[in-house]
Structures are given as structure tokens and as C-alpha cells.
Structure 1
Amino acid sequence: MRISTVTMFEQSTASMNRQQGDLMKVSQQIASGRRVVNPSDDPQAASRAVGVDQAKAVTEQYSDSRVSARNSLSQTESIINSIGDAITSAKGLLIQASSDTLTDANRKSIASELKGVYETMLGQANSTDGNGRYLFGGYKDNQPPFAKDSNDSVQYKGDGNVREQRVDATRLMPVADNGETIFKSVASGAGYVAEAKKEDGTLNQGNVTFRGPQISDIGNAADFRITFTSSNTFDVETFDDTTSTWSPADPADPTLTNVAYTGGEGEAGQQVTFGGISITLQGEPVDEDSILVAKAGGASRGADLFRTMEEAIRVLENPADDAPKKADMRNTLNTAMRDLDNSLDNVLTVRASAGARLNELDVIDSVGSNRMLNYDQTLSDLVDLDYAEAISEYSLRQIGMQASQKAFVDIKGLSLFNYM
């Protein structure tokens, strides 16, 4: 067989190129720190690494989402804490204002201070997050959720939804409470509240005051209303949730219809009991005057923190210069203090919920961090380089390259003339 010079050159060149390619591959691995530089290096490992990279990217996105959720919840918790402090301050002012030793000027001064607390609450209720969105408007976060109407009363303009954010693959977390939950709700355990107003919402014309209500049988407790049919008689009415109307509790029961009123006689007053709830009345009524006894936040008397503050400010700003106005002041302050207690309980409940969600974010963060460590370890096992093995391989390839070059030089110098 004839071996030509061209064949020897081609084989030697191919050997050197192969050795150089192997050396370059190991050099790339050492430079990048990765065993799998190209998918062709290990197709199976490269495919699995793509999946792990994608899972890692999703986990990082959830981590960024939790940062945003934590900021929103922290701001919500801080604002609710401020609102709780404002309610406590307002309750203290009402206790001070209820003293009989104060003059109308003193109460007007307290009303001025109470109005400052009221405006502070309104400002907190219209707080925004760092992106200009209103925190407590639900999905309607592009406008202030609370605004005053033509009667200078605060009305809620948001909706009943709660903004949520996905903080993990299986967790969609509420990141802000709506205004109804904070300012127009009460805790589930809220008690009963009495209010002295007529059916049309106007003030009573008589000077009847109340003490209570007090619950003796919570199992039979129900809303009721005492409506005076004259200065000496009254009816007990109940509320129908279906039709939202009041009707006689039991027209056939003489203890509930045309009941003789004797509360105007003596200082003890007259106790009225219905459905396990009792209230004590005292004073002189006028026909159609009414006393409502209802569960706080129920269908017959919804909760409203701003309405409570407005009513308290109203009676403190106006002089109590006759018996009906004095009775209105006493009744309104009594009702307002109970409403503030219920509102404070509700605010504390909402704050506790926000705190619980912040704690949950910490737990999810911990789980996410462990998951990221697992992903990093898996990715390292799949594509990272063993430097000790790579350096040994590099040295071996380098020696092979040098041997191939020397062999080429030796073969190139061979000639038959050397043996003639």
C-alpha cells in the first residue's frame, strides 16, 4: 500500500486539530466554571437545567411579589394602628364631655379637639401606597374611598372587594382591607347598642334618656324598637330583615302594645325587656319619639365610625340649653361611646389579621429561601464543573496536544534520501 506524503500531513493535521479542540473545550469549562457549556455536552443535564432555571425564575418572581405585599401590609398595619389610637383618644374626649360639671363652652372646646381627631381619621382612611393607589378603596383605588357629601357627612365611595396578590404558587393573599371592613363594620362579637331617634332619622322631641342596653339571655336576643304612641304609652316593634321594615312585635300581647309608660315618675325609670335584652327609660316622651335597640353592625343599624364621630361632634357643638337637648346629648354620647368601643374592637381585629398575614409572609419567605437553595444545589449538580477533575483533564489534553505536534514534526522530517 502506498502512503503518500499528503496522507501523512492530513492525518497529522487532523490529530492536532482534534487535540486542540479537546483542549479548548476543557479551557471553556474552566473559564465558565460549568461542565455543560453547550447543550450538546450533556443533552439530558442541559434539558433538566432549563427546567430548574425556569422554576428558579418563578420563585424569584414570587419573592419580589412578597416584597410588594409586605410593603402594602406594613403600611396598612401602621395606618390601622394610628386609627386605633385616634379611636382611643376620641373615647377619652367623650368620657370627659359627659361630665355634668362642664359648661357648653367647655364641650364646644372638646368638640373642636374631637373634630381634629375626626379629620385625622378621614385623612388616614384616604391614604395611598407608594404607587399612588388608595389603600382602602378595594378595586376602586384610583379615587379617594371616603368623601363628604352635600350634608358634610362622610360616605364610602369604594367597593367591597379586597385587593389580592399571589405571593406563592398556592397562596393568593389579601394585601389591603377595604374601607367597609375597617370603618363600617364591627367584630363578630359586638354587642347591642341603643339609639334615640325617630323612624325617619330625626331627633326625638321629648327628653327621654336610656341606660343600657343589657343582655340577660343572649340566645333570645333580638333587635327591637320602642315607639311612643303618646306621652303615656308605647309599642314594642321588631325588624323584618326580609322587607327591612318595622312591625308590632305581637299585637295580641298587651305587654308589647300600648304599654303604659311610667318612666317619667321617679329617678329609677322604667325597665323594658324584650328578647333577653333590657333597657331602662327615664324622662318625658313626645308622640312618635323612638328608642332603637339593635345589634351593632346589624341589618337595622349598620356600623359607621365616621357617623359616630359626626353625631358626637354635633351634640357637643350645640348648646344643651333645654331638657330635650340635654337628653339628646346624654343619649348620643352614650351611644357614641359604645360605638367607639365596637369600632376599636373591629380595628384591632383587622390589625391582628394584617399582622398574621405579615407573619405568614415570613414563613413563605423561609420556605422560598430553602426552595432556592435546593434549586441552586440541583443546578450545580447538573451543570457545574469539578475543578480538580477539569484541571487534570486540561493537563492531559495539553500533553496530548504537545505529543501530537512533536509527532507531526518528526514525521514531516522523514525522507528516503536519509537512508540512501
Structure 2
Amino acid sequence: MRISTVTMFEQSVGSLNQQQSDFLKVSQQIASGRRVVNPSDDPQAASRAVGVDQAKAVTQQYADSRVSARNSLSQSESVLNSVNDALVRAKSLMVQASSDTLSDVDRESVASELQGVYESLIGQANATDGNGRYLFGGYQDSSAPFVKDVNGDIEYAGDSRVREQRIDASRLMPVSDTGEAIFMRVPSSAGYVAEAGEGNTGTGTYEEVRITDRQQMADDLQAGNSFKVTFDDPPNTYQVEELDADGNTVATTSGNYPADNPIAMGGMELKLSGEPDKDDTFTVQSADQANTNIFATLEKAIDVLGQPTDTDAKQAAQRNTLKSVMRELDNGLDNVLTVRASMGARLNELDVVDSVGGNRTLNYEQTLSDLVDLDYSEAISEYSLRQVGMQAAQKTFANMQGMSLFKFLN
């Protein structure tokens, strides 16, 4: 069979091109560190690698979201730490102001310091993050959540919804708490609190509310019942009205004061001292039905400490107010600590989810490596082989190029 010179050259050039292509492919793999440089190199591995890479990118997005959530929670927890210190200081001032050795001037001085605590507390409630967003305004984080109304009272103007952030595929985490939940609520375990009527004219003061039947008290608390003690004419008889959640009277008892002191009501006893006047009242109600606004509590304390106590009735009214304030501060502080504990638990959860997410990312990276990464030992051997093949093809082509019958003609 005759082989033309053109055919010989075409086959040789084709062989050279194929050898060079294989050599360059291995060179590209070594340079990139990847076995699958183009999808055509291994279509199945390339397809699986795309899915794994997308899953890895989603995991990284959740990791970035956790960083944002951790920053928000850490900032909020730091502010609540300052709020905790402010409430502890306010409670200390209330204990100091309750001393009978203080004069009206001394109490005014305490009120002045308490005013500073009050102003700092407003500033902390309206704290912002590094981007100027208010921490405790819920989703309405572009304006201050706590503002003064027309009467000068602090009210919550933020959103009641808690800002949430998805930190993992199956976890939507609250990354802050609303100011309403922090500064205007009490813990569910707060129980009952006592309060003297604003119009009381006698010297009667309440000492404490003591539990005598915890189950009965819990039942009344769950039903939303409250109790109101009203004093009548001498010889100081009184009536105890048990009121339901709507304010309707469901039961009435009576007694004589001070013979029936402490006064029994719904699994509790209210102990009084002093001499109540006719129509003086004392109310015992669940803590969440009473004042739960920390700012209103401090305003009440500042106001009463600025009032003169030149009569026994005014002294009694001040004592009753200060006792109510201290109980409300205790409840407010407990609530702040509860929220802080919740934030701490969420920060701990972020650490756990971070660990799980990190392991998941490592698994994805290992899978990607198995699919597309290069085995350098095998690739270098292949590189050497292709290099030898290409050199052999080049030498063969050079030798064949010189073959011709014309060399043997004289």
C-alpha cells in the first residue's frame, strides 16, 4: 500500500497535537491543583461538586449570619449589664431613703441622685448598635423606642415583634429583645404585690404579704384575681373584696382591725401597722396587674422623695410608696436578669451551632477535595509520561520527515 507524503505529515502532526494536548492538560491540573479543571474532564464529579459547593456557600452564609447575631446579642447583653447596675444602685438608694433618720433635705439629695440613675436608664434603653440602629426597638429600629408623652411620662414607641435572624437551616433565633419585654414586664414568678391607695389619709402602712396556702394563691393568681381591703368607721372594721380579672366582686369577707391583723385573703396574709382612716384602701394584686414600668417606678420614687413629710399621714404615705417602689424594682431587676440569662443561653447556642457548622464545612471541603482535587503523586508521574511521549513523537516526526527515496538516486 502506498502512503502519500501528505498523509504521513497529517498523521504525524495529529499525533504531536494529541501528545501536546495531553501534556498541557496535566500541566494545567498541576498548576491549578485540581483534577477536574473543566466539566468535560469528569462530568459526574463536576456535577456533584457544584451541588456540594452550593451547600458549602449556604453554610458560610449561615456562619456570617451567626456573626451578626452574636454581635447584636453581645451588645444587648452589655447594655443590660449596665441596666442591672443602675437598678441595683436605685434599690440601694431606696433602702437609704427608707431610713427614719433622714430629713426631708436628705431625701431630696437621694432623689437628685436617683434622677441621674433615671436619666442613665433612659439612655441605656435607647442604646444603639454600631450602625445607629436601636437595640430594643424590635423591627422599628430607626427611631428611639422610649419617648416622653405629653405628660412627660416615658412610653414605649417601638415594635412589639422581636428581631430574628436565621442562624441555621432549621433555627430562627431572636437576636435581641424588645424594650417592652425588658423594661415594662415582670417575671411570671413575681406573685402578688401590695399597694396603698393614693387617697389614704391615715397612718396605716403595709409590712408584708405572706403566703399561707401556696396552692390557693397559685389558683387565684392563675385566675387573675386580686384583693381590695377597705376600712370602715370605728372601731376600724374592714372588708376584703376578692375581684376577678374584670374587676367584678366574687367574694367578700370582713374583720376587725387590729384584732384580725394580719388580714387573711386567698391563701395570703397582709400585715399592717399604724391606724388606717375610714375609706383607706390597700390592694393586693398580681405583679403583672400592678405597675410594671421601671421608668414609672423611678418617677414615683423621685416624686415622693421630693415631698415634705410634716405629718404622720404623709410619712405613712411615703413609707408605703417606697415599699412599693422597692418591690417593683426587685421585680424589674429579676426580669432584666431573666432576659440576660436568655441572651446568654442564645450566645451559648451560637457557639454550639458554630461548632456544628464548622464540622459541616469541613465535611463539604473533604467531599470537594475527593471529587475535584488533584493527586500530585499521580499527576507528576502522568506529567513525566506525557513529556516523554511528546518528545518521542517529536523525534519520530523529525526522523520520518527526513525519509525520502530521492536520497538514494544518483
Moved more, 280-289 or 134-143: 280-289
Q: Tell me by how many angstroms 1:143 deviates.
A: 1.7
For the Cα contact (< 8 Å) 1:235–1:248, is it kept in 2? no
Where 2:270 maps in the other structure, the secondary structure is strand
Counterpart in the other structure of 2:349: 360
Counterpart mapping for 1:68-83 below 5 A: 68-83=68-83
For the Cα contact (< 8 Å) 1:269–1:281, is it kept in 2? no
Distance 2:279 2:137 in 1: 39
Q: Tell me by how many angstroms 1:283 deviates.
A: 3.4
Q: Does 1:226 align with 2:229?
A: yes
For the Cα contact (< 8 Å) 1:220–1:275, is it kept in 2? yes
Q: Which amino acid aligns with 1:336?
A: V
Among 210, 214, 217, the alignment partner of 2:210 is: 214
Q: Tell me by how many angstroms 1:240 deviates.
A: 2.1
Counterpart mapping for 1:184-223 below 5 A: 184-197=184-197, 202-221=198-217, 222=220, 223=226
Counterpart mapping for 1:386-397 below 5 A: 386-397=375-386
Q: Tell me by how many angstroms 1:408 deviates.
A: 1.1
Counterpart mapping for 1:160-309 below 5 A: 160-197=160-197, 202-221=198-217, 222=220, 223-230=226-233, 232-241=236-245, 244-247=246-249, 249-250=251-252, 256-257=253-254, 259-260=255-256, 262-263=257-258, 270-297=261-288, 300-309=289-298
Q: Deviations over 1:326-357 (max 9, x none)?
A: 11110011111111112211111111111111
Distance 1:273 1:284 in 2: 18
Moved more, 95-104 or 302-311: 302-311
Q: Deviations over 1:115-135 (max 9, x none)?
A: 111111111111112222211
Distance 2:85 2:405 in 1: 107
Q: Tell me by how many angstroms 1:70 deviates.
A: 0.4
For the Cα contact (< 8 Å) 2:291–2:328, is it kept in 1? no
For the Cα contact (< 8 Å) 2:87–2:333, is it kept in 1? yes
For the Cα contact (< 8 Å) 1:269–1:280, is it kept in 2? no
Distance 2:382 2:262 in 1: 99
Percent of pairs with identical residues:
62
Counterpart in the other structure of 1:253: none
Moved more, 398-407 or 107-116: 398-407
Residue 4 and residue 46 in structure 1: after superposition, are their counterparts in 2 closer, same or farther (change >3 A)?
Answer: same
Counterpart in the other structure of 1:20: 20
Unaligned runs of 5+ in 2: 221-225
Q: Does 1:108 align with 2:108?
A: yes
For the Cα contact (< 8 Å) 2:125–2:146, is it kept in 1? yes
Q: Deviations over 1:231-277 (max 9, x none)?
A: 63432222322xx3242623xxxxx15x44x34xxxx9832111111
Q: Deviations over 1:124-178 (max 9, x none)?
A: 1111122222111222222211112222221111232211111111111111011
Q: Deviations over 1:175-230 (max 9, x none)?
A: 10111221112222213211112xxxx44233321111111112112421112344
Q: Deviations over 1:367-407 (max 9, x none)?
A: 11111111111111111111111111111111111111111
TM-score (norm 1): 0.91
For the Cα contact (< 8 Å) 1:125–1:146, is it kept in 2? yes
Q: Which amino acid aligns with 1:334?
A: K
For the Cα contact (< 8 Å) 1:237–1:246, is it kept in 2? no
For the Cα contact (< 8 Å) 2:291–2:297, is it kept in 1? no
Q: Tell me by how many angstroms 1:97 deviates.
A: 0.6
For the Cα contact (< 8 Å) 2:126–2:135, is it kept in 1? yes
Distance 2:137 2:233 in 1: 46
Q: Does 1:405 align with 2:401?
A: no
TM-score (norm 2): 0.94
